[in-house]
Structure 1
Amino acid sequence: MTALVSMATRMRDDICAVGASLFNRGLTAGSTGNISVRLDDGSMIMTPTNACLGELDPERLAHLAGDGTHLSGDKPTKEAFLHNCMYCERPHAGAVVHLHSTHAVAVSILADNNPEDVLPPLTAYYVMRVGSLPLVPYFAPGDEALALAVKAKAGRHHAVLLANHGPVVSGTTLRDAQYATEELEETARLHLLLDGHRTRPLTPAQVDHLRRR
């Protein structure tokens, strides 16, 4: 129990540090975005509803049981179901980051996206950290149908892009989820910068080689 308490304390501090880093670099604004970590007992530490990621208080983060029951702290983000969907379908996921980051959201609004893989494989690091990125159709925030749509993709993808909304990314650790989310946003920015230009994305053979690694 002492080890679990120590881990929870460390994870609370880490969530606040990651939240501040994302906010201070403009990857999330206002009270948008949310972060969670899954502890060894299956419970979750999660950012509260209507909270700014740049001003998180570790003592006020929500603590939820594995079934979503609110145990302590402030009320969890109203998008907690997005995190639960990822954890349910990905037993090795230890953290989830969801942002409304500008370039990723912009890509999610473009017409004629490939819904099975929204972004091209522009860099090796995108392929290694994100892989393929399916587009989840638009649903109003809080709509239970959105949870089902994310769940349908989460078993095969650790990152998804919600149409007109933003990315949801899981990782084995919080840092893994953070770095993958940042790589996704940077690739979305590159994709938009290159619009109208001839590009040379990685070939299918190069992508397969990276995935095998």
Structure 2
Amino acid sequence: MTEETRLREQLCLLAKSLYDRGLTHGSTGNISARTPDGGLLVSPTGSSFGRLDPGRLSRFDAAGQHIDGDKPTKEMPLHTAFYDTRGTAGAVVHLHSCHSVALSLLPGVDEENFLPAYTPYGIMQLGRVKLLPFFVPGDPAMGQAVRGLAGKRSAVMLANHGPVVAGKDVEAACNAIEELEATARLALITRGMGAEPLTGGQVRSVVKTFDVEWDA
């Protein structure tokens, strides 16, 4: 089995896991990963995370040309923006996860730091999450907004739409976006109940201990 074949199967397996646990639904969401030769494997447009076929994933070469597989997701500008601006990005995942979308609809959310610091793991895996405004799905302006961050954020939340996370590989990206959704769920469950987040000193301790990108 080649390294690319393993990557194709891993991408589909992780996508199905996200789908089976209700983290995205229907034909929503998209996922991509760097191939060993510098190209990309991308979920096709209109596909379901629960039924991805490893052999039909969209394949791009290192020059960004679509060379094989089905037509890619319409959110390609969003994915390529992360790859082009974050040298550490080996995979990108975008979901329509319920709790994170719900949190983006509520007033008083910090655009520069979308998630409250309720646990160290959201900080460790995501850094600060930037809340971006609403864009029509497929609008290249989403990619332009990510490029405007100059690679300083590994995760963004698209208001009224869903989260997008870049990771060093497809497993790391999936783990991080699950942490984003779990933290958003905590925020909703505890909203209005006087929940106490980590103190500024505790946050700084986590950031220092785990070398988290935080101040950008």
TM-score range, shorter chain: over 0.9
- Residues 154 and 171 (structure 1), Cα distance of their counterparts in 2 relative to 1, 3 Å cut: farther
Q: Is residue 90 of structure 2 the alignment partner of residue 94 of structure 1?
A: yes
Contact persistence 2:4–2:36 (CA under 8 A): no
Counterpart residue identity of residue 130, structure 1: L
Residues 103 and 188 in structure 1, CA contact (< 8 A), matched pair in contact too: yes
Unmatched runs of 5 consecutive residues or more in structure 2: 210-216
Q: 1:155 aligns to what?
A: 151
Which one is further off, 116-125 or 148-157? 148-157
Partner of 2:4: 8
1:141 aligns with 2:137: yes
Other-structure match for 2:214 = none
Query: Post-superposition shift, 1:112?
Result: 2.3
Aligned to 1:208: 204
1:103 aligned partner: 99
1:38 aligned partner, one-letter code: R
Equivalence for 2:51:
55
Q: Paired residue for 2:67, among 66, 71, 84?
A: 71
**TM-score (norm: length of structure 2):** 0.93
CA contact (8 A) 1:117 1:135 kept: yes
Q: Supply the AA of the counterpart residue of 2:163.
A: P
User: If the length of structure 1 is used for normalisation, what is the TM-score?
Assistant: 0.95
Quote the residue 1:128 is aligned against: 124
Runs of 4+ in 1 over 4 A off after TM superposition: none
1:18 counterpart (14, 38, 42)? 14
Maintained 8 Å contact 1:95/1:177? yes
Deviation per CA, 1:180-213, whole angstroms, max 9, x where unpaired? 0000000000000011101110111111111112
| 8 Å contact from structure 1 (residues 37, 45) kept in 2 | yes
After the TM superposition, which of the residue ranges 139-148 and 43-52 deviates more from structure 2?
Answer: 139-148
RMSD (CA atoms): 1.2
Q: Distance in 2 between matches of 1:153 and 1:18?
A: 28
Instruction: For residue 113 of structure 1, report the CA deviation from its aligned partner.
Output: 1.5
Question: Identity percentage over the alignment?
Answer: 48
Gaps of 5+ in 1: none
* Corresponding residue pairs, total: 209
Please say if residues 153 and 160 of structure 1, whose CA atoms lie closer than 8 Å, have aligned partners that are also in contact. Answer: no
Contact 1:85-1:154 within 8 A present in 2 as well: no
